[in-house]
Structure 1
Amino acid sequence: MGPFIIYNYFNLLKEHVQNIPPSQIYNLDETSFCLDPSRIKVVGEKGKAAHRTTSGPGRENITVLLGGNAAGEKRPPLIVFKGKNIWDSWITNKTEYPKMTYSATKNGWMETEMFTKYFENNFLQNIGKERPVILIYDAHTSHISIFLIEKAIANNIIIIKLPPYFSHLLQPMDLCVFKSLKVAWDVELTKWQRQNYGTKLPKAVFSTIISKIWSEAGPALLIKGYEKGGIYPFNNQVIAAEKFDPEAYRRWNLENSSNNSPVAVPDPSVADQIKENQINLPSSSQKSLIDTSLSFEPKSLTPSLTSITFESIILEQLKQVPKTEKTTRKKICKGAEVITTLEAIAVLKEQANKVESKPKKLGRKKKKNSCTKKRQMKIVWKKKKKMIQMMT
Structure 2
Amino acid sequence: MVRKYIKKTNGPAYTIENLDRAVSDVVNKNRTYRQAHETYNIPISVIFHRIKGRNIPLNKMGARRSQALSTEVEEQIVKCLIARSRMGYPCDKNELFQLVADYVLVNNIKTPFKDNKPGPYWYYLFINRHPQLSFKKPEHLQKLRKTARDPEVVYDFYEKLKTLMETSNLTDPEKNCFIFNADETGFCTDPSRLRAIGEKGKSLSRISGGSGREFISVLACVSADGFCLPPLIVFKGAAVQAPWTSDKSYPGTLYAASKNGWMEEPQFFTWFCTSFIPHVKKLRESKGLTNQTAVLLYDGHCSHISVRIVENALMENVKLVKFPSHLTDQIQPLDKYVFGPVKNKWDKLLVEYGKTQMGLSSGRITKAQFSELLKNVWMSGIIPANIISGFVSTGLCPVNATKFPEDEFDPALLRKYRKQK
TM-score category of the 2 structures, normalised to the smaller one: 0.5 to 0.7
Deviations 1:163-206 (A, max 9, x none): 11111111111111111110010111122111112343111211
Quote the residue 2:165 is aligned against.
17
Whether the 8 Å CA contact 2:190–2:364 is kept in 1: the answer is no
Deviations 1:315-366 (A, max 9, x none): xxxxxxxxxxxxxxxxxxxxxxxxxxxxxxxxxxxxxxxxxxxxxxxxxxxx
Quote the residue 1:83 is aligned against.
237
User: Root-mean-square deviation (CA), in Å?
Assistant: 2.3
Quote the residue 1:74 is aligned against.
228
Quote the residue 1:62 is aligned against.
216
Q: Which has the higher contact order (CA 8 A, sep 6+)?
A: 1
Counterpart Cα distance in 2 of 1:74 and 1:35: 23
Counterpart Cα distance in 2 of 1:55 and 1:82: 17
Whether the 8 Å CA contact 2:190–2:365 is kept in 1: the answer is no
Q: TM-score with structure 2 length normalisation? A: 0.56
Quote the residue 1:123 is aligned against.
276
User: How many equivalent pairs are there?
Assistant: 252
Aligned ranges 1:1-40 → 2 under 5 Å: 1-18=149-166, 19-20=169-170, 21-37=175-191
Q: Write the letter of the residue equivalent to 2:217.
A: T
Quote the residue 1:202 is aligned against.
366
Quote the residue 2:402 is aligned against.
237
Q: Is 1:51–2:215 an aligned residue pair?
A: no
Residue of 161, 177, 199 corresponding to 2:338: 177
Structure 1 residue 59 displacement after superposition = 6.4
Whether the 8 Å CA contact 2:223–2:387 is kept in 1: the answer is yes
- Specify every segment of 5 or more residues in structure 2 that has no aligned partner in the other structure, as ranges: 1-148, 285-291
Q: TM-score with structure 1 length normalisation? A: 0.60
Deviations 1:236-293 (A, max 9, x none): 111222211122111110111xxxxxxxxxxxxxxxxxxxxxxxxxxxxxxxxxxxxx
Counterpart Cα distance in 1 of 2:298 and 2:410: 24
Q: Write the letter of the residue equivalent to 1:202.
A: T
Instruction: Indicate the SS of the match to 1:234.
Output: coil
Residue of 77, 95, 104 corresponding to 2:257: 104
Aligned ranges 1:182-193 → 2 under 5 Å: 182-193=343-354
Q: Which is greater in Rg?
A: 1
Counterpart Cα distance in 2 of 1:94 and 1:253: 55
Q: Write the letter of the residue equivalent to 2:253.
A: M
Runs of 4+ in 1 over 6 A off after TM superposition: none
Structure 1's 40 and 243: CA in aligned 2 closer, same or farther, altered over 3 A?
closer
Counterpart Cα distance in 1 of 2:378 and 2:188: 16
Q: Write the letter of the residue equivalent to 1:5.
A: V
Quote the residue 1:165 is aligned against.
326
Counterpart Cα distance in 2 of 1:85 and 1:135: 28
Aligned ranges 1:1-392 → 2 under 5 Å: 1-18=149-166, 19-20=169-170, 21-37=175-191, 41=196, 51-54=206-209, 56=211, 60-95=214-249, 97-127=250-280, 128-130=282-284, 131-197=292-358, 198-216=362-380, 217-256=382-421
Counterpart Cα distance in 2 of 1:54 and 1:242: 45
Instruction: Indicate the SS of the match to 1:72.
Output: coil
Structure 1 residue 54 displacement after superposition = 4.8
Deviations 1:125-176 (A, max 9, x none): 2232422111100111111011111111111111111111111111111111
Whether the 8 Å CA contact 1:42–1:50 is kept in 2: the answer is no
Percent of matched pairs sharing the same residue: 33
Counterpart Cα distance in 1 of 2:153 and 2:180: 22
Q: Write the letter of the residue equivalent to 2:393.
A: K
Whether the 8 Å CA contact 1:26–1:135 is kept in 2: the answer is yes
Structure 1's 77 and 54: CA in aligned 2 closer, same or farther, altered over 3 A?
farther
Q: Write the letter of the residue equivalent to 2:420.
A: E
Q: Write the letter of the residue equivalent to 1:228.
A: S
Counterpart Cα distance in 2 of 1:179 and 1:146: 33
Quote the residue 1:328 is aligned against.
none
